[in-house]
Structure 1
């Protein structure tokens, strides 16, 4: 089969370097990961030279900690210089009403950024843009005052107060206000009370994002690569805390084409990171179905916008509520991972779990493990067989 040029994600490079040091057998690691020794040697040198700043990504400069600090100091100096100039021009407005400040910002927006002027004049950017859209009313001014009070009360409570308690604090200050109104103000300002949770779950389907139809409908037989990708998120226990693993699997060959490991469940660090890895190594030229559960990470606008950016080439599919069989392939992968590997290990740190699972996926599962669904062949053997059949046809 013709050898294709591979693109490696920064996560892959970092873990490959870690694995080479952990194994102390660079040649074996290169063979298992199917990468040239010279490439791994270059990655190891870059890791030694730049440490945590290595592998910044294509088009981004490699900087040492000292260089990054110098760049940051230059930016801070520039910001201070601009703020000083804004202060000289608009300092007389600091004690004025917000409308006067907003007019100053409007007249100088071509010289300074709106965000920086708002910071110097101590007004919110949202307040400025609201002022641009509509005439300032007494209600708007009162809402601004309430927003400031709500934020102060919330911060003073160490971010523990919900709407009911914030409402009571406002009433003590002489403000008669309903709980729903307080809740709206808190949401508008991104204020959410922290709550202790007894259990960590990876699938949060209790959200208001749109749900995609179940296009896949348990049809797990496909005829080519990049026809159907399935994805799911699971957790790995360590003494340091949970480590979350997100995978994207190609149904055609059962290969893990994308993965991410994180200490949180944000969309950026789970599915988007995994998607970026999958998209880096696979060119999508034909219709692709992307199937997952109804989790908020998959339904979020930030991720669905990525799906839409493919102009209809990628179609999103989601499992029916409470039906685990709709995403059985991903569930089966996690069962294999935990039964065959994770349950045999005790992880003190997330970094240990990350390196261990990276090794299992990239040197075993994707390379040497035989799969019953592939006729008891490895993924490489199955791909070679399919390639030869296509050539013969």
Structure 2
């Protein structure tokens, strides 16, 4: 995790500091990294993956006033662009809002509805609490609003919700996870081919879910948060936290 973040890195190294009698607090550690030019600046890359100019039904935004209390209450989905050497690829992600755990994904060289259906299919199979009602929230892209996807979600007893405007804060968790995978795991680089990108995405998601600490999870991992459910949910939208910072 080459772009892991200084605060999370300090927590992972703190015990080693003690064992080796290194007296260094978090702030001093960050100053140390800054002094040696080891802090990494975030970059922003944009590629349009949402086509909301269509005639299909757009669901209401069910998250606007919803209190997030537990895992598998809400899944959020989005598609992000992956650059390959000779073509384009697209990564569809399904993330649990409460735990920030990536529940399902699919990467391919198209943005057809099959891409998002297969990502959601994986997410449904990976559910731990199958007795809970589930909301699926996404942008107003044609893949998420077309009858094919709506019927598929209904067959899984999933309630659809969509953003009402173009603000990234209406789907902040999904946008943030996109940024983490691309900025911290190298998915913003040009990848040789689809097969390599599939391997990279699988590895990145496994590390992200099981090893990467989250500030919003009390510095726990998404897997820990999903299983234990002891933290209080923090809304990115309410606190206006920059999308790519985690």
Q: Which residue pairs with 2:51 in the alignment?
A: 204
Q: Is residue 223 of structure 2 the alignment partner of residue 376 of structure 1?
A: no
| Cα contact 1:232–1:248 (8 A) shared by 2 | yes
The match for 1:325 among 144, 148, 169 is 169
Unaligned runs of 5+ in 2: 1-45, 231-246
SS at match of 1:261: strand
CA 209–225 in structure 1, closer or farther in 2 if over 3 Å, else same = same
- Aligned-partner Cα distance in 2 for 1:386–1:299: 31
Q: Is residue 130 of structure 2 the alignment partner of residue 284 of structure 1?
A: yes
Offset, 1:226 = 1.4
TM-score, normalised to structure 2's length? 0.69
CA 244–224 in structure 1, closer or farther in 2 if over 3 Å, else same = same
Offset, 1:343 = 5.6
- Aligned-partner Cα distance in 2 for 1:383–1:202: 29
| Cα contact 2:101–2:223 (8 A) shared by 1 | no
Q: Is residue 80 of structure 2 the alignment partner of residue 215 of structure 1?
A: no
Aligned CA RMSD, in angstroms, stands at 2.0
- Aligned-partner Cα distance in 2 for 1:384–1:247: 20
- Aligned-partner Cα distance in 1 for 2:159–2:112: 22
Offset, 1:321 = 2.3
- Aligned-partner Cα distance in 1 for 2:134–2:191: 36
Greater helix fraction, Structure 1 or Structure 2: 1
- Aligned-partner Cα distance in 1 for 2:219–2:142: 35
Offset, 1:346 = 3.6
- Any residues of structure 2 matched to 1:149-228 within 5 Å, and which? 201-217=48-64, 219=66, 222-228=68-74
Offset, 1:285 = 2.1
Q: Which residue pairs with 1:36 in the alignment?
A: none
Greater strand fraction, Structure 1 or Structure 2: 2
SS at match of 1:342: coil
Offset, 1:260 = 0.4
| Cα contact 1:218–1:326 (8 A) shared by 2 | no
| Cα contact 1:237–1:243 (8 A) shared by 2 | yes
- Any residues of structure 2 matched to 1:253-332 within 5 Å, and which? 253-268=99-114, 270-282=115-127, 284-310=130-156, 313-332=157-176
SS at match of 1:249: strand
TM-score, normalised to structure 1's length? 0.44
- Aligned-partner Cα distance in 1 for 2:144–2:180: 23
The 10-residue stretch of structure 1 (225-234 or 281-290) with the greater mean CA deviation from structure 2:
281-290
The match for 2:86 among 225, 233, 240 is 240
- Aligned-partner Cα distance in 2 for 1:380–1:230: 17
Unaligned runs of 5+ in 1: 1-198, 388-393
Structure showing greater radius of gyration is: 1
| Cα contact 2:213–2:222 (8 A) shared by 1 | yes
- Aligned-partner Cα distance in 2 for 1:289–1:249: 12
Deviations 1:203-234 (A, max 9, x none): 11011100000111175x52222100000001
| Cα contact 1:228–1:250 (8 A) shared by 2 | yes
Higher relative contact order (CA 8 A, sep 6+): 2
Offset, 1:384 = 4.8
Deviations 1:360-389 (A, max 9, x none): 001x101100011111111233345438xx
